[in-house]
Amino acid sequence: MFCVLPHAPAQWEQFYTGVRISELLDLKKENVYLDEQYFDVLASKTENGIRKVPIADKVLPFFKAWYNDTYSEYLLHTENGEQFKYRNYYDSYFLPLMTNLGLEQTPHCCRHTCISMLAEAHVSQTTIKKIVGHSGAMTLTERIYTHLDIEELVNAINKI
């Protein structure tokens, strides 16, 4: 679906994780667990947004490269190791890529794409909600009694 680049842009990670751009830009290396293939979102727009997010096999090499890239505490960072601010990321990386592709999209569209690809791959709605941190329309049973482990979430994200 997407070409493989030596240093994939963060859009690929959004496509294959379903995270909000703020969650990706705030991600610190100390919250990334490469061997187990997930990362923790510790700050989010919603309570359900605090979650473990699986890392798909397709993007694991990029996570590893970024993790080992520099001394920065952030997984994605500027050339001098500072945390990306949304505007810097958008103007320097996202907008040029969309312009080159002839698309008019926002970073949030990547999240929608992930959810759509998961649904097309017949991943259950409960699992999709766990991956992307949604609670809307979740039943009481789904919210309280469904405990999906990270291996199940990685298997689900690998379907796309």
Check residue 70 and give its pLDDT: 80
**Whether the predicted pLDDT of 33 surpasses 90:** yes
User: Residues 41-61: pLDDT tens digits?
Assistant: 998 888 878 899 999 999 999
Q: Helices (DSSP H) in 33-146: which residue ranges? A: 60-67, 86-89, 95-101, 107-120, 125-132, 140-145
Rounded (5°) CA angle 113-13-63: 160
Check residue 11 and give its pLDDT: 61
The pTM is what?
A: 0.82
Check residue 4 and give its pLDDT: 33
pLDDT, mean of residues 126-141: 75
Q: Which domain holds residue 100?
A: 10-157
Structural domains in the chain (count): 1
